[in-house]
Amino acid sequence: MDPADEDIIYDWLQKNPELMVSHVLLTHKHGDHAGGAPGLVERLEEDYKAAGKPTTIEIVIGAGENQSFGTKKVKGVGTFEVNEIKVKHISVPCHTGGHQIYYLEDLNNKEKKNDPSEPKTVYRCVFTGDTLFIGGAGKFFEGTAEQMQKNFDEIRKLPEDTFVFCGHDYALANFQWASAIFPENEALMSRYRWAEEMNKKGICTIPSTVKDEIETNIFMMTGDPALQKKFGVEDEASLMKELREWKDQKKTFESKNE
Ligand SMILES: [Zn+2]
């Protein structure tokens, strides 16, 4: 998934020789996600060839990302299987035009639920790239607020115990800003205190769960009448647009009044 740095992944694979790579999944074309993919695949294919193993590694990327190194281009919604794992790709255009998120499910343990206190045991998860961050959303470089609203609705539909692995750990900054926008929301405020605690301890906030995001990510609250009223809007996409613009400008209601 998004091998931005080929050396880290390659070195880890050297230490775990029982594992072979058959697919590299790319959420989108940006270098800090996809940059290491061609080099990694080239090195692995050479190693596998020398060892007499199957050598073809698929690089999955969204159609329209204009990256020549993708060998399997996907769009819309579709599934494929890798060993006993079902991979569902969902097109979520906005951050980039061909951005994909990937929902993975362990086919042998479909009825089991993830335990948030055991994030290393994963029965289902979603890789959201730069579309949804813990407590935040990616920038709308190649799309609209309407599109991002639909993308968040897709994530909302996933099982609530799904672990969320996003592309960057921006949780503290996201909750810090959101808490100044919507301090009346107790769940959000307690998540902000949690992010501060994690930051003090130097612990990564990833993964969260779909349930966490629905309850505490302000970009998931576009249907909240109190929040819509604060911004003077009456529909979800308009609130999505306002939130993105305010976040880009680091604007809050306090700073607006200064
Ligand atoms: Zn990006």
Ligand 1 centroid – CA 33 distance (Å): 7
pLDDT at 257 over 90: no
Counted domains in the chain? 1
Ligand 1 centroid – CA 198 distance (Å): 24
State the alpha helices, DSSP H only, in 106-224. 145-156, 171-181, 186-201, 210-216
CATH number at residue 201: 3.60.15.10
Ligand 1 centroid – CA 8 distance (Å): 20
* pTM as predicted: 0.95
Going from the C-alpha of 171 to that of each of 63, 146, 189, 216, the distances in angstroms are: 30, 23, 13, 11
**What's the rounded mean pLDDT across residues 17-28?**
95
Mean pLDDT of the chain: 95
Residue 53 within a domain: no
State the alpha helices, DSSP H only, in the chain. 6-15, 31-34, 37-50, 145-156, 171-181, 186-201, 210-216, 225-231, 236-248, 253-257
Residue 136 within a domain: yes
**What's the rounded mean pLDDT across residues 186-206?**
97
Active-site residue set? 28, 30, 32-33, 95, 130, 168
Residue 8 within a domain: no
**pLDDT at site 54:** 81
Which residue type sits at 81?
E
Residue 257 within a domain: no
Ligand 1 centroid – CA 127 distance (Å): 13
Ligand 1 centroid – CA 95 distance (Å): 7
Quick check: 90 and 154 in contact, CB under 8 A? Answer: yes
Residue 124, beta-bridge partner list: 105
Residue 65 within a domain: no
